Amino acid sequence: MSDDPNIQAEILKLARLLHCQPERLSYLENVPSLEVRELREQVTDMLFSAHVKTLEKLAVASKLLPVAVTALIAERAFGPILTGRMAGLIEPARALAIAERLSAQFLAETACELDPRRTSEVIAGISPEQITEIAQVLVARNDYVTMGQAVGQLSREALQSALAVLGDQDLLRAAFVMDAKHRLPELAELLGSERLIGLIDVAEAAGLEDEATDLLAHLDEAHQAELLAEIAARDEESHRQVLDRLSRIRS
Amino acid sequence: MDALEEQLRATPPSGLSRLSETELRDLVEVLAAARHAQATELQAAGEKAYAQIPWLLRGPIRKIVS
């Protein structure tokens, strides 16, 4: 078993993309997580470029249809996989107009099938209200992978709205599988110190120390020092594991 | 690794050379199955979509797609 804390998350994301059980890919545990991530990006390119000519023709043809009819076809005929593939081929303003007419349930299912690199403009344009509804569906499905992959593309307002509907454990799990870890400091800022310290309490109780340590390790040094001081001033004993790990990372 | 490279149409990460022949074969099978499932879904969705299109537009749309 690998001691790379990110490997399980990478295997989970690849399995999701390939629509197979993560256990089937367990042999990837001994491959460095960065290389499994590289493989996932190659598989994404493979799947998104397969049949691209047909999908491009469908995208052109869809311009002849009113937005409402295209939304209806997406939900009733295309389904989440093809809608996800097409989202990156349609002009973002039109894709957003279509998304406005889709149910949160369908958008959540489609979000699992998106390549955030190809649809960043569309994801960033979805309203905070709709993001909140989608986040609620994803939370109910325990779908941390999709949440984590989409976070990097969300507007600050949408991110703030989504954070409000995520429980502490959901948040730790989603942050752990985020692709765009460079946004973790912004996420931490939106959460505020009180909730961040609360997350550490939750992490230790729920066995999510790896997740909490990863979140804290991505904060800038000043923010880490501020949190450590605040935790130490409270009850250092109850945060011992995370504090020890974080101290090791910082030393 | 050759079969994997052919499936991916890219050079696989070097760390995958740690996998056994059986594991590599399984990975190639999973990739091929995902491609096949996507193709099947695309074909079925195309037919289903026509039923939702207003009949006046079916001709022009069929022309673009075919």
| Chain A interface disruption, residue of B50, B65, B66, most A CBs within 10 A | B65
Q: Which residue has the higher pLDDT, B31 or A8?
A: B31
Residue B61 has its nearest CB partner, among A27, A64, A78, at A64
| Chain A interface disruption, residue of B1, B18, B56, most A CBs within 10 A | B18
Q: Is A81 within 8 Å of B61 when comparing Cβ atoms?
A: no
**DSSP per-residue letters across A66-87:** -HHHHHHHIIIIIHHHHHHHHH
Rounded to an integer, the average pLDDT of A224-240 is: 74
User: In whole angstroms, what is the distance from residue A12 CA to residue A28 CA?
Assistant: 11
Nearest to B49 by CA among A73, A138, A187, A149: A73
What is the per-residue pLDDT for A210?
87
Residue in the block written with tokens 């992978």: A145
Task: Write the DSSP symbol of residue A102.
Answer: S
**Is the pLDDT reported for residue A110 higher than 90?**
yes
Of the listed ranges A123-127, A205-209, B46-50, the least confidently predicted one is B46-50
Q: Is B61 within 8 Å of A76 when comparing Cβ atoms?
A: no
* Contact predicate A119/A153, CB 8 Å: yes
Average pLDDT of chain B to the nearest whole number = 88
Portion of chain A with pLDDT greater than 90, in percent: 60
**Is the pLDDT reported for residue A1 higher than 70?**
no
Q: How confident is the model at residue B11 (pLDDT cuts 50, 70, 90)?
A: very high
